[in-house]
Amino acid sequence: MTLLVVGLSHRSAPVSVLERAALSRDSQGKLLQDTLAAEPAVEAAVLATCNRVELYADVDKFHAGVAELSTLLAQHSDVGLDELTPHLYVHYEDRAVHHLFSVACGLDSMVVGEGQILAQIKDALAVSQDLHTAGRLINDLFQQSLRVGKRAHSETGIDRAGQSLVTFGLQQFAAGGDTAAWARGKRALVIGAGSMSSLAAATLARTGVSEIVVANRTLERAERLAAILSEPGGTGVSARAVRMDRVAAELTRADIVVSCTGASGLVLTGQDVADAVAGRAMEDAVAGEPASPLALLDLAMPRDIDAAVHGVAGVRLVDIESLAGASADAPMAADVDQVRAIVSAEVDAFGAAQRAAHVAPTVVALRTMAADVVAGEIARLDGRLPALGEKERAEITQTVKRVVDKLLHAPTVRIKQLAAEPGGAGYADALRTLFDLDPEAVASVSRADRGDNDPRNDARSDVPSVAHVTQVTNVPGITGVPQDADGVPPNVTNGRNRGRA
């Protein structure tokens, strides 16, 4: 296993950097394709959410892999490599697995324990599968991370510690009070019709808003979401869809606005919001009512709503940056420790399974070679004893096969057990050397086992494993990072310095 992840998140970078590093769906696809075209990587996946951008890859060279993946992230974002580098973290081997499993369980989320990350991991895997950049390692890793995340939520009370960003954002408006009481009867505008916007609309409906207006560039998607919300089997809330050019008018009517689009630029400028506030004030004055405040929740990355809105009177803007500050003070449930234990156990099991799988092709090649030896000796016997009866020949053949199977049984079972242990990758090499196995025969078994669509089938088979890297003295692309006693930078982690991350 040569797994490497290079990325940045709300824990390592300010929102101003994350915002510029955010990747559109098209950019994610181009990044994956360029990653596979780069020499060190043979399969890859991108996990891009509103508070993280991470590039996972199966690499054949650690240092070259770190440098290449870092450069690619910079090239496909609006952040230069020199500016991006200080905010990047690197994990490899078991520590990379530990990182993704922790992410899947919500332990690394801005709101600890939130479950939406599972859908985002599933989406990341689907994209890499569609583009044929996911091979066995990425498939196994991401599918297992989904199982680990689901296990954490079903076996622990991590849900009590976590909630969606939507719920957490609405709680900021309620100022510690009852969110449902605060939202009840209010009119809501949801800008966007993707997964986060759908979650926002459903959450608003459950909190008791009186109306939800969905605005989207594609009217059909907005209409579909509005229909789901208003149908009898749905939330039952009054919902309707409008085009994006109607957002300005709807702003004067709405009490709550949630925006989460994939737009590369601003959806609402400071002037848009200021004009809406002025229009609302006029309507309130005509109705003889006090001015009603406008609550804006921006969950997009990059931001949909101009940060200048923070200075507009009569408006409360909660965005990713303010959510990050609020979540830092949020209490963590005792169940988090139980989830961490689950993650550690699952990482060990995943590593053992991967190491065992690594030696399996060698064992198959050994048994194939033994079968060929038996077949050759039986053919030689036929030449020496042509008069040998069919019954006697069959009995001799079975006897020789049983002898070979018994001789191979104990060592092959034991080598699978040893290979599953930490540091067991060398047993496959020892087996190949002891029995002088043809490397191409082992490689052909691996290719057949992976399937025709695995991108690694086109990769070189003579490259060293990252598992054999015992000391990191310099990490190209991640500069200015002090080395620890083992020669490993503290933000570059593997199984040996797991406790430091």
According to DSSP, residue 210 is labeled S
CA proximity to 253, closest of 227, 282, 231, 225: 282
Catalytic (active site) residue 105: no
Give the Cα separation of 175 and 159 in Å (integer). 21
Distance in Å from the first CA to the final CA of the chain: 20
Give the Cα separation of 63 and 80 in Å (integer). 20
Token pair of 207, please? 């909190």
CA proximity to 214, closest of 185, 232, 238, 181: 238
Token pair of 380, please? 């030689």
According to DSSP, residue 305 is labeled B
Out of 8, 17, 36, 50, the active site residue is: 50
What residues does 294 pair with on adjacent strands?
315
According to DSSP, residue 131 is labeled T
**Contact at 8 Å (CB) between 201 and 190?**
yes
CA proximity to 252, closest of 297, 314, 169: 314
Determine whether 392 is exposed, middle or buried from the number of CB atoms within 10 Å of its CB (0-12, 13-18, 19+). Answer: exposed
Chain mean position to CA 328: 22
CA proximity to 141, closest of 36, 3, 46: 3
What residues does 215 pair with on adjacent strands?
191, 242
- Collapse the DSSP code of 490 into the 3-class scheme (helix H, G, I; strand E, B; otherwise coil) and give the result: coil
Determine whether 420 is exposed, middle or buried from the number of CB atoms within 10 Å of its CB (0-12, 13-18, 19+). Answer: buried
- Collapse the DSSP code of 303 into the 3-class scheme (helix H, G, I; strand E, B; otherwise coil) and give the result: coil
If one counts every other C-beta atom within 10 angstroms of the C-beta of residue 348, the result is 16
* Residue written as token pair 């509005």: 226
Token pair of 416, please? 């699978």
Token pair of 250, please? 């709807």
The alpha-helical segments, DSSP class H, found in 385-438 are 390-419, 426-434
The reply to whether omega before 361 is within 30° of 0 (cis) is no
Q: Which residues are catalytic?
A: 50
